[in-house]
Amino acid sequence: MPYKVVVATRSFGTTSQEPWDVLAEGGCVPVAVDILQLTDEEFAEVLRDADGLIVGRRPVTADIIANASRLKVISMHGVGVDHIDLEAAKAQGVAVANCPDANFNSVADLTLGLMVAVARQIPQVSQAVQGGEWGRFSGVEVWEKTLGLVGLGRVGRGVARRATGFQMSVLVYDPYLTVAEVEDAGGRMVALDELLAEADFVSLHAPLTEETQHMINREALRRMKPTAYLVNTARGELVDEEALYEALTQGMIAGAALDVFTKEPPGDSPVLGLPNVVVTPHIGAHTREATTNASIMAARNVVQALQTGEPVHRVI
């Protein structure tokens, strides 16, 4: 009997046929749904008799999991699983997996791009020139500045490697690593307060947990230099957006570059429209290479879990 696998992410398999072939060869019948059109009740109904789920950023709640009595595996089409109720999945015996190596290069690329963009005001300058202006626009260099990395996982390490091309000094705050591990990655381990006080660019690469939510708050922003920039390509909830708005409008920091927000789409986020902010719509993982990698990994997670009970990259 074939396995029903619900695909609840629009980008799955859009850059390659291989992920669909992996599912088919593994005895799976994929059912693609438009996550933007489904209510929670409709999402729960389509999962009611599903064996597997490949999901993007659509929340997977305890109620949805409880309604899916046949569900054996959920694979995130990416890395972060903070939108999946892990306790509910564990209680029901549902394996949760992710794709840890799929997109870190893409996110690291974007991080450096945002850093340069906010330092040189590239989006604002481009818009001004296209509007007929031709003036002298002044920014700051990235070359030989101090970069502070909050979190040194795969993305953080990728950013550190790229920063060497700009001859940057790299400070790292990561309570889960040893000094030797940080030094091996080309950084210097420091406390968070020291990193905030010394860095010219503070780049966030921590997971969202109870401990990290709003770790960049008013107090943290006050510790940063008035010439410093904040870059966030991790999770929007790491930053208190009201506090960030105050810091940006009161000259406490020079600017911010954000790919993620507390609420997405950000709607009426106070930081939108500020002249010293560069924003992108959570596109860190959206490259052809990352989408292909994540799609293949997610398909393999589901197939292996359904066939053996163990996904390739288990989270829980």
Distance CA 57, CA 264 (A): 10
What are the two backbone dihedrals, phi and then psi, of residue 121, each rounded to the nearest 5 degrees? Answer: 55, 40
**pLDDT classification of 227: cutoffs 50, 70, 90:** very high
CA count, 13 A, side-chain hemisphere, 239? 32
pLDDT for the residue 210: 93
Question: pLDDT per residue over 17-26, tens digit each?
Answer: 999 999 999 9
The one catalytic residue in 25, 264, 289, 310 is 264
Question: pLDDT per residue over 69-117, tens digit each?
Answer: 999 999 999 998 999 999 999 999 999 999 998 999 999 999 999 999 9
Distance CA 124, CA 289 (A): 28
Judge whether 77 counts as a catalytic residue. Answer: no
Q: Is 287 helix (H, G, I), strand (E, B) or coil?
A: coil
**pLDDT classification of 136: cutoffs 50, 70, 90:** confident
Answer yes or no: is pLDDT of 135 > 90. no
pLDDT for the residue 108: 98
What is the Rg, in whole angstroms, of the alpha carbon atoms belonging to the chain? 21
pLDDT for the residue 76: 98
pTM for the whole structure: 0.89
Distance of CA 221 to CAs 1, 111, 191, 224, 242, Å? 56, 19, 15, 5, 11
Distance CA 77, CA 16 (A): 14
Distance CA 23, CA 51 (A): 12
> Which element (helix H / strand E) includes 201?
strand 201-204
Answer yes or no: is pLDDT of 1 > 90. no
Average pLDDT of every residue of the chain: 97
Give, in degrees to the nearest 5, the angle at Cα 141 between 180 and 129.
Answer: 140
Can you give 211-261 as a three-state secondary structure string? Answer: CCCCCECHHHHHHCCCCCEEEECCCHHHECHHHHHHHHHCCCCCEEEECCC
pLDDT for the residue 100: 93
The one catalytic residue in 235, 237, 241, 313 is 235
DSSP letter for 15, please: S
Answer yes or no: is pLDDT of 194 > 90. yes
Give CA torsion, residues 224, 225, 229, 231, to 10 deg: -20
Tokens, residue 69: 């009595």
pLDDT for the residue 183: 98
What is the share, in percent, of the chain residues with pLDDT greater than 70?
A: 100
* Domains of the chain: residue spans and CATH: 3-102+288-308 (3.40.50.720), 104-279 (3.40.50.720)
The average pLDDT across 47-56 equals 97
E strand spans, 65-187: 73-76, 95-97, 146-150, 169-173
**pLDDT classification of 129: cutoffs 50, 70, 90:** very high
Question: pLDDT per residue over 281-307, tens digit each?
Answer: 999 999 999 999 999 999 999 999 999
Judge whether 282 counts as a catalytic residue. Answer: yes
pLDDT for the residue 200: 99
The one catalytic residue in 205, 282, 300, 313 is 282
